[in-house]
Structure 1
Amino acid sequence: MSKTMDNPMASVFKYLALSILFMFIGFAFGQAFIPESIVYYANFILIFVIIGLLILAIMSRKSALPARFSMNYVYIFTFIDGILTYPILQMYIKDLGAGIVMDTLIGTVIILTILSIVSNKKEAGHYLNLGKTLLYSLIGLLIFTIISIFIDFKLTNIILSIAGIIIFSGFILYDISLLKEEISKGNIVDREDLSIHVLNIYLDFVNIFLDLLRLIWELKN
């Protein structure tokens, strides 16, 4: 049986940090075992990784995923996600430099931290009214991302990146507000109750990170 938690809000960020760590372990695994030649196809792979992440984000928002499952599944998913994003991150590291990629990662952490603090300072459920708008925006983003496969214009990619950053920033406000409401209702008992919340916030984080990198890459090139 999972242990009960004294501070679920702090615990969700602990598990999120572990999830991001598993992502980078997956990235290191990809570096070690995936042929470097695949990196050359990273820009093509990127669009499909983003589409996959968007579909998963939509599924989780529409309750297509269980509300409670083992946290170990989250770690397995983020590890696999790290492997899948290895060619993309490696391309960004080569084109932009490791320093810019690291600065972007730190910037994403700062965005997550600030928005989480803002949402947590409001009463439980304060930003839940954004739910439908964000969901419809996310579906629209997915549609236009698929269309962008056939219309490969720099301006299109820049607009999609900015839209993605805005939408998933809104989802951070929403997800923290939802978590706070679930805590206030007494629905968070152990770490498995946090699993879907950790996954959602992870998806917010990684989509903002990839969109920021793509925006910087498009502006540079």
Structure 2
Amino acid sequence: MNYNYDITSVRGQAVEGLSDFFRGIFTWMTLGLAITGVVSYLIAMDKPVVQYLYTHILLFYVLIGLQLVAVLLLSFGINKFPAYISEIIFLSYSALTGITFSFIFLVYTSQSIGEVFFITAASFGILAFLGYTTKRDLTKMGNFMMVGLFAIMIAMVVNFFLHSSALMYVISVLGVVIFLGLTAYDMQKLKQIYLSGSFDERKETVMGALTLYLDFINLFLMLLMLFGQRRD
């Protein structure tokens, strides 16, 4: 028996399976981003809807609350749901995010939104590739970034009352660093999950898509606050 051939075949199948796993993740992530973008743009172009949404601040907070519920359901209850329910929740979350994201078209010019989107895509792609290919364990870095994430969340709550442009700038810079780091960490973590072999691939594909979607969206927001050109 040619053992070298068997080992090569097994390795080839593992690599192909890993590629299929990430192809599924990025397909769902791209679909989620597309839904968010289309919904936010359509709502921003409908002035009566926008006016209603932003003059009823309670509704806006309800939508944010529903987004949080969707993320929590997927994060803590994904193993309790059928795969198709998880997929529906993810798509619904993407649409809800599109509704709340419609404000960026009112604050920033369409050109700067497009430019920042491409900067985000390039930065995200580079760090995702590094996270996928590096042999260095990124666990400690990931834990550090998570601590930083909670820190900037607290700082954003504080700044909600202070309205400090200087503090917002610092938050944005730190946010870019944190979400770039989390992108690399999450890519490595997803790779390790696949190689462990103990997971439901369809559900983990959706969960992986949500994780990278959140990294991308938040990186985009932080970069937009830094480089976005505001409307007059």
Residue 31 (str. 1) matches residue 44 (str. 2) = yes
For 1:16, which of 29, 43, 47 is the aligned residue? Answer: 29
Pairing partner for 1:146 from 146, 154, 157 = 157
Residue 33 (structure 1) shift = 4.6
**Correspondence for 1:121:** 133
Equivalent residues in 2 for 1:43-122 (5 A)?
64=76, 66=78, 70-93=86-109, 98-122=110-134
Gaps of 5+ in 2: 1-16
- What CA RMSD, in Å, does the superposition of the two structures yield over aligned residues? 3.5
Residues paired across the two proteins, number: 207
How far did residue 24 of structure 1 move? 1.2
TM-score by length of 2: 0.75
Secondary structure class of the residue paired with 2:113: helix
Whether the 8 Å CA contact 1:54–1:138 is kept in 2: the answer is no
- Provide the C-alpha distance between the structure 2 equivalents of 1:119 and 1:186, rounded to a whole number of angstroms: 19
What is the identity percentage for the equivalent residue pairs of Structure 1 and Structure 2?
Answer: 21
Structure 1: stretches of 5+ with no match in the other structure = none
| TM-score normalised by the chain length of structure 1 | 0.78
Counterpart in the other structure of 1:135: 146
Q: 1:120, 1:148 → 2: CA distance?
A: 35
Change (3 A) 1:25 1:5: farther
Q: Which has the larger radius of gyration?
A: 2
Find the counterpart in structure 2 of residue 160 from structure 1.
171
Distance (Å, rounded) in 1 between the aligned partners of 2:223 and 2:124: 13
Q: Give the structure with the higher percent helix.
A: 2
